[in-house]
Structure 1
């Protein structure tokens, strides 16, 4: 087993144990699982949850009775297929969700212990990060031992939270817009013994909350969300700073304080909340925000508010690219450093002000859920530029420029690459112009195009021998990448790749003991040029193409996209009417995969009904079309029956490619 090696320190996240099944040999090998792990970076972004075994298969590292167990993703997929479900598949691993919840709570527990902090940590999971029933159910079940709560930003999310969060020591934090029904639900939960906090984000919310509290005869737990001046430089920087959409300015916070003072209800104000935005990459921004918020907290306490809770919001980042840097897809800190810095700063400010240490709440959804899910899809076809380069015969009576282009191919060497490149570009440009004016045939153009890319491919193969390569050639290299067509929808399963250029780790889940020989981009099966992936982590660097293996005739090739548990299921859409994928929740029992639950993906009938088609009506309309064809003598009645049966089977089938 190739493990993610880690050096435990204050900067590192607590990581799960990983199994080691390596049978290392001193005999040299051309390519090994170790080479693959370095190429695809699994030792950095995998956090010990994912690795590669000596058979060359990607593995997920789970635990059973406290012992590490490595399960092959290929074995898991084959087991799912034996049970009647096909790719694309979304695999969920509840052990990884439990490990992340445990790691987050362990980090804060350690930080509190080291600093002799006198408050507690009470995390909440933001339902918006992944709203699926299985996720919320598992979060509340696993989190019970830590009194880990939920955050709800809408009425439907609050209804879900109230059905699953029954721990009287945990919190339900209510953010977002709140109408009367929302407020009544939260106040009713208080009467049922659930610590439900109504966070004031709009100046006008307080009056309605207090009116409903009086009507229901309950004392509300109130919080205020404040807009900090501190900003971060991450992808979600607009969620931070004084111009963020939600929250109160300092003067609006004071208006809330004075309004409560006039009501003699400052005892209701117990929580200060702020949010820096998701995926904050730089620890300095977290420290600065904690300092500013802590100062506001102690001032509210001095004003007479009861306080006792500080909600630091989300922002705890995931290292998607394994670089451990302050770039949008990474972070320059670990979970323990994050917790320690927050605890130390809040404690220091409170001690200086003579205020008790508050309980700390965080809304770290991405950090909890990202590792939970893996998308698996099969490659359907490959468009390889090198497979058809320069295979056409020279057309008879070809234009002189076609022959000149062939002469360039004949004289190319290391010393004249730039000159040959310039000539090739010139002749090809002239030939395209001649074709557009009807002066050469399609056969001549096809030969010239094939020869041009053959030339460029030869030139690229010689670049490593040059001290300085032509800039134009380095740019053209991207145009020569193979295209691997995957059985998935980027817009449904990986919407952040399209919407915000989010990087997700990608690698094959098998054949990893073979050296990849192709360089490719990935395309989905939507009819959209944006349905492509061309940003990858390769050998610790961002690349525009991914090393992959050549397809073997008749053999399937499976890729995995990792760390997709946060936001992707919630944000996915029905582009080209490609629906939800099959989902399987996987655990481990007796050292083998255990298929805990299965959720079939959308059928064609499902997605058509989402956009207001009636599947029965569609069948009837097609039946009429076929019957008219029978009456007109275009098809037989037997052909009609076959066509109608095929149509009905398709209506009931999976929206993705089926074998």
Structure 2
């Protein structure tokens, strides 16, 4: 009988796969010996496999290069990384090895940009696409960057007041983009994105605030779809509406030469994942060229902003199954030595699914289980009710430790979970390992940060420091009023 866990996987998926293979009874990920990683660093742990970041950037560049060549497309392609997916220095350092550009979303992003410039990681030729609703400090920081010579910083106008705010602080001329407020999918509770300017209002906005403004030049139209780039009727319909706006603007604004097609690519969330990236890119380039030819305008340079696609598939987390609780005749709870709410917040916040596989014991028999975290919150779980497929793992055995891994978790989890801060029920954040390759192709590991300690949490909570008390002296007048 085929009762081993490896039999279950082989019957269900094509296995092994590009990044996953089996070494006897334990799993390897991009040829990383995960068993050795656990033995060296213990669990829980998170890791970032840095070469995967460069791999995905290179793939996307090649796909666009082929599509542009195939369709004789007379425009350039620019790959941007949106920093909100992961702001960590090791992520930016790896991504910037590949001649890319950057998209920002808040004031402190500009501080990161300036630090990278000081270190020589980027220069004035690097495009900085500044998105988001711009509060005062963000405006000030963008203006400082442009005033200091970074003319390739393009603030994307999100609302009607931003041009005046920027012009008040930017000394000379500057370039802008305009963001389209796209219509959302029918499943949303609202019809139109809160970000950007509506389709019908963009040309009137240009005529009123940009056309005769000697200080501002429109260079980019920014098109962002919240659900990302998908091969469905909704995406193609929104892209068509965007292109109609682009061609209408281009006819009255010759400086407009770029289209940012925003919205990210999906990343692998299952061993059954199937997405034809090359076909989608080919069709996007084809559609843009066809519409522009029909309208008699030049095709735009293409910008993309890939965040999850850039960094998501580089990340992983490994936990140990501490204990199994049989709560009734049908439900077995495998308790992990960490928390889903704190370390993988997307699993409970938006029911996001990641690839989950055991690290060891693939030749053991399996059982259906639920996975529970350590917090006392009822939502701290990962199971078949939140996700499409049931969870099967090698049978629990208290004498044979079982380790499980979650893969492709590299985007957003640290920032949403509040990296380095307080965690629910004060469950400590796990240690974080950076994994790279040396010049000979050998795997190297480095401890980026150890597991969070109680002293760090107590300091945040104010238990180990004295609060400053300020005494305000009352004036005679205030004392007299108080007496009355």
Are 1:567 and 2:417 an aligned pair? no
The residue aligned with 2:130 is 174
Give, in angstroms, the shift of residue 119 of structure 1: 0.9
In the alignment, the residues of structure 2 paired with residue 552 and residue 578 of structure 1 have an alpha-carbon distance, to the nearest angstrom, of: 23
Corresponding residue SS for 1:320: coil
Unmatched 5+ stretches in structure 1: 1-27, 62-69, 325-331, 386-452, 458-479, 618-659
Give, in angstroms, the shift of residue 483 of structure 1: 0.7
The residue aligned with 2:21 is 52
Runs of 4+ in 1 over 4 A off after TM superposition: 28-33, 39-44, 589-592
In the alignment, the residues of structure 2 paired with residue 242 and residue 264 of structure 1 have an alpha-carbon distance, to the nearest angstrom, of: 35
Are 1:207 and 2:164 an aligned pair? yes
In the alignment, the residues of structure 1 paired with residue 220 and residue 8 of structure 2 have an alpha-carbon distance, to the nearest angstrom, of: 48
The residue aligned with 1:38 is 10
Check conservation: 1:505, 1:536, Cα contact below 8 A.
no
In the alignment, the residues of structure 2 paired with residue 519 and residue 345 of structure 1 have an alpha-carbon distance, to the nearest angstrom, of: 46
The residue aligned with 1:115 is 71
Q: Matches of residues 211-360 of structure 1 in structure 2 within 5 Å?
A: 211-213=168-170, 216-217=171-172, 219-229=173-183, 231-232=184-185, 237=188, 243-253=192-202, 254-264=204-214, 268-324=217-273, 333-360=275-302
Check conservation: 2:267, 2:313, Cα contact below 8 A.
no
Q: Matches of residues 189-204 of structure 1 in structure 2 within 5 Å?
A: 189-190=145-146, 191-193=148-150, 195-204=152-161
The one-character-per-residue Cα deviations of 1:208-227 (angstroms, maximum 9, x if unpaired) are 222323xx22x211000012
Give, in angstroms, the shift of residue 593 of structure 1: 3.2
In the alignment, the residues of structure 2 paired with residue 614 and residue 244 of structure 1 have an alpha-carbon distance, to the nearest angstrom, of: 43
- Return closer, same or farther for 1:169/1:115 CA change in 2, 3 Å cut-off: farther
Paired residue for 1:598, among 441, 448, 453?
448
Q: TM-score, normalised by structure 1?
A: 0.64
Are 1:73 and 2:34 an aligned pair? yes
The residue aligned with 2:44 is 88
The one-character-per-residue Cα deviations of 1:479-515 (angstroms, maximum 9, x if unpaired) are x121111011111111111111111121111111323
In proportion to residue count, which structure has more strand?
A: 2
The residue aligned with 1:462 is none
Give, in angstroms, the shift of residue 247 of structure 1: 0.8
In the alignment, the residues of structure 1 paired with residue 135 and residue 465 of structure 2 have an alpha-carbon distance, to the nearest angstrom, of: 39
Give, in angstroms, the shift of residue 572 of structure 1: 0.9
- Return closer, same or farther for 1:32/1:490 CA change in 2, 3 Å cut-off: closer
In the alignment, the residues of structure 2 paired with residue 211 and residue 242 of structure 1 have an alpha-carbon distance, to the nearest angstrom, of: 33
Q: Which moved more, 1:596-605 or 1:504-513?
A: 596-605
Paired residue for 1:556, among 401, 407, 417?
401
Give, in angstroms, the shift of residue 524 of structure 1: 0.7
Q: Which moved more, 1:566-575 or 1:156-165?
A: 156-165
Check conservation: 1:536, 1:546, Cα contact below 8 A.
no
In proportion to residue count, which structure has more helix?
A: 1
Q: What is the alpha-carbon root mean square deviation over aligned residues?
A: 2.7
Check conservation: 1:283, 1:338, Cα contact below 8 A.
no
Give, in angstroms, the shift of residue 297 of structure 1: 0.9
In the alignment, the residues of structure 2 paired with residue 100 and residue 346 of structure 1 have an alpha-carbon distance, to the nearest angstrom, of: 24
Which of these two proteins has the greater Rg computed from alpha carbons?
1
Check conservation: 1:71, 1:592, Cα contact below 8 A.
no
The residue aligned with 1:486 is 336
In the alignment, the residues of structure 2 paired with residue 98 and residue 307 of structure 1 have an alpha-carbon distance, to the nearest angstrom, of: 31
Give, in angstroms, the shift of residue 131 of structure 1: 2.0
The residue aligned with 1:640 is none
Are 1:376 and 2:314 an aligned pair? no
Unmatched 5+ stretches in structure 2: 467-484
- Give the number of aligned pairs: 456
Using CA pairs under 8 Å that are at least 6 residues apart, name the structure with larger relative contact order, 1 or 2. 2
Corresponding residue SS for 1:362: strand
The one-character-per-residue Cα deviations of 1:61-104 (angstroms, maximum 9, x if unpaired) are 2xxxxxxxx2221122223x3xxxx3110011001111111111
Paired residue for 1:367, among 296, 309, 324?
309
Q: Matches of residues 463-612 of structure 1 in structure 2 within 5 Å?
A: 480-516=330-366, 518-535=367-384, 542-553=388-399, 555-573=400-418, 574-589=423-438, 592-610=442-460, 612=461
